[in-house]
Structure 1
Amino acid sequence: MIRLICVQNYTKKYGDKTVVNDISFTAKDGAITGFIGHNGAGKSTTIKAITGVIRPTSGSITINGIDIQKDGKKAKSQFGYVSDSPDHFLRLSGVEYLNFMADIYDTPLDERSAFIENYAKRFGIYDSLNSTILSYSHGMRQKIMIMGALIHNPSVWILDEPLTGLDPQSAFELKQMMREHVKKGNSVFFSTHVLEVAEKLCDEICIIKKGELLYCGTLDELRATHKSNASLENIFLELTETKE
């Protein structure tokens, strides 16, 4: 199976306003692909289309070769999605939420138990699993949402600003998990504002500005068209021609 996200000629309009304009790229297997751009550039709109939350105005999107619009249920079973907000299912306890997600994906009891123990200990929330998500800090909610998205061991990870709110140790653990995942031949596609993280972590970079895709490829290829020793931050600011 080819483990990748393939976006072809994706456009999203709201009325007369074009939010994303005719972009195409792939997030390949065995690679961490970073999706970067200013606020309002179209990152979340693109990710919501990839995950089937919204429908494209035109274009096609496939996950592991499965069209998200034509066979949404099968396509959605291929990936784990972490949205840019962790404030969901607040009345459930952490373990209730994880078991709920595991039930949706028919994750066997032995597999989910091992997953919950492993990830909860790595994230430092094992002792809080029986508390309600409402009582969690923002960072703890982010961790439990990440665990819920990954509990069925999907080949493709789609993460929208996943490091926001995480403490340094948990951010380190998540980055390690991402590296471990792609070493198995899987795919990680994530958006981030932290360019230093993208530079150190990503195998490929996609840069979007005002709904237009400016670049998608390796950082080495990007540097080849700029100063060879330039940081991703400097190249990004040069390409987007504006500072936040």
Structure 2
Amino acid sequence: MTEEPAKTSARDVGLGKKTAEGLATMTPMARQTAAAERDLGGEALFVADLTKRFGRVTAVDKLSYTVPQGSFSAIVGPNGAGKTTALSMISGLLPPSHGSVELFGLDVWRNRSKAQDRIGILPDRVRMFEQLTGAQYLSYVGAVRRVDKEAIIARSEQLLDAFDLRSEANRLVVDYSSGLRKKLALASALIHAPDLLVLDEPFESIDPVSAGTLIEVLNDFVSRGGTVLLSSHSMDLVQRVCDHVAVIMKGELLAEGTVDEVRGDVSLEERFRDLVRGPAVSEGLDWLNISFG
């Protein structure tokens, strides 16, 4: 009598027998819901009464908060909250109407050239020289940032590998997708070895695999003593990777502190909705009611 093979205990997940059997042998992976513990230093960035007016419109109104050195920080808010304007003033791209920005004790707007040497910037709208290849673009940015030639070559090679851009290095930027451009722009923001990265929506137009690559690179940057300040619409991403967050609405600061301090006993997304007083459900769209009867 032939002995029957032992049956594999498979999860009934509706994916087919072989797939289910494979899943049955995998160790369940816990979902990351909070950033790793980090050792923070003193003040990397100090913003005091930062204000920007465009005629009668006040885009940012007396914004004041501190970003610790070695932190992975975020500034979040709804569309039109003033995030891009705030980051542009912090990075030395847009002069404030009032207030000050200090980077490691250096006034950004009184010592703009020295301050920008310590900042890597990913602006809201990335403009590139599209007739350069990816490798040429990195070399160009390195030269503009006054990095010596040998360091440019070595760093470019490392950045192409770190951002998984090796296969795209000799393609013209004009042929890059939005996601590839974003990765190349972030790589170029690192080539001069800055102390602070100011990133405006770095994960926009990025697929999940590329986003994972960017997070790994940024976590490595922070682990080496760097500081990251980014804007994002994804509360889940901010909750998972950031340890410090500032929430703004109509240019005003609503909350600031560690992610745990700001979110309290609820998710960051729930706390965010509560702070900006967004409606829980859409109303007044009764005409969209569809009957299947």
The answer to whether 1:208 aligns with 2:248 is: yes
1:169 matched to 2:205? The reply is no
* 2:192 equivalent in structure 1: 152
* Post-superposition offset of 1:170: 1.8
1:183 aligns with 2:223: yes
What is the CA–CA distance in structure 2 between the aligned matches of 1:167 and 1:143, rounded to whole Å? 11
Q: Which residue of 2 aligns with 1:117?
A: 157
RMSD: 1.7
Q: CA deviation at 1:2?
A: 5.7
Bigger RCO of structures 1 and 2 (CA < 8 A, at least 6 apart): 1
Distance 1:171 1:19 in 2: 29
CA distance in 2, matches of 1:53, 1:47: 9
Give the aligned partner of residue 172 of structure 2: 132
Specify which of 271, 274, 277 is matched with residue 235 of structure 1.
Answer: 271
Counterpart in 1 of 2:75? 35
TM-score normalized by the length of structure 1: 0.93
Deviates more, 1:21-30 or 1:88-97: 88-97
1:1-34 Cα shifts (integer Å, max 9, x gaps)? 9661211100110111111110101111111011
In 1, Cα distance between the equivalents of 2:59 and 2:146?
A: 36
Q: Deviations over 1:173-204 (max 9, x none)?
A: 11112211222222100000111000000010
Moved over 3 A (4+): none
C-alpha contact 1:30 1:187 (8 A) present in aligned 2: yes
Q: Does the CA contact (< 8 Å) of 1:12 and 1:58 recur in 2?
A: yes
Are the equivalent residues in 1 in contact too, given 2:48–2:63 (CA < 8 A)? yes
Q: Name the stretch that deviates more: 117-126 or 160-169.
A: 117-126
Secondary structure of 2:216's aligned partner? helix
CA contact (8 A) 1:87 1:141 kept: no
Secondary structure at 2:154's aligned position in 1? helix
Partner of 1:23: 63
Q: When the two structures are superposed, what TM-score results if normalisation uses the length of structure 2?
A: 0.78
What secondary structure sits across from 2:94 in the alignment?
coil
Contact 2:246 2:255 survives alignment (8 Å)? yes
| Superposition deviation, residue 75 in structure 1 | 0.6
Q: Which amino acid aligns with 2:256?
A: C
Identity between Structure 1 and Structure 2 (%): 32
Letter in 2 for 1:145: A
Deviation readout 1:43-87 (Å, 9 max, x if unpaired) = 000011111111100000122222121111101001100012234
- CA contact 2:199–2:230 (8 Å) conserved in 1: yes
Q: Is the 8 A contact 2:162 2:217 kept in 1?
A: no
Q: Is the 8 A contact 1:3 1:155 kept in 2?
A: no
Q: Which amino acid aligns with 2:96?
A: P
CA distance in 1, matches of 2:217, 2:189: 13
Q: For residue 70 of structure 1, give the secondary structure of its aligned residue in structure 2.
A: coil
In 1, are the aligned partners of 2:81 and 2:249 still within 8 Å (CA)? Answer: yes
Contact 1:3–1:156 (8 Å) recurs in 2: no
Q: How many residues align?
A: 240
Alignment match, 1:65:
105
Q: For 1:182-233, what per-residue CA distance to the aligned partner results, in whole angstroms no more than 9, with x for missing partners?
A: 2222210000011100000001010000111001101221234xxx1x1100
**In 2, Cα distance between equivalents of 1:22 and 1:159:** 21
1:88-125 deviation per Cα after TM superposition (whole angstroms, max 9, x unaligned): 22122211211111112222333332322222223222
SS across alignment from 2:52: strand
- Unaligned residue ranges in structure 2 (runs of 5+): 1-40, 283-293
What is the distance in 2 between the residues matched to 1:223 and 1:17? 30
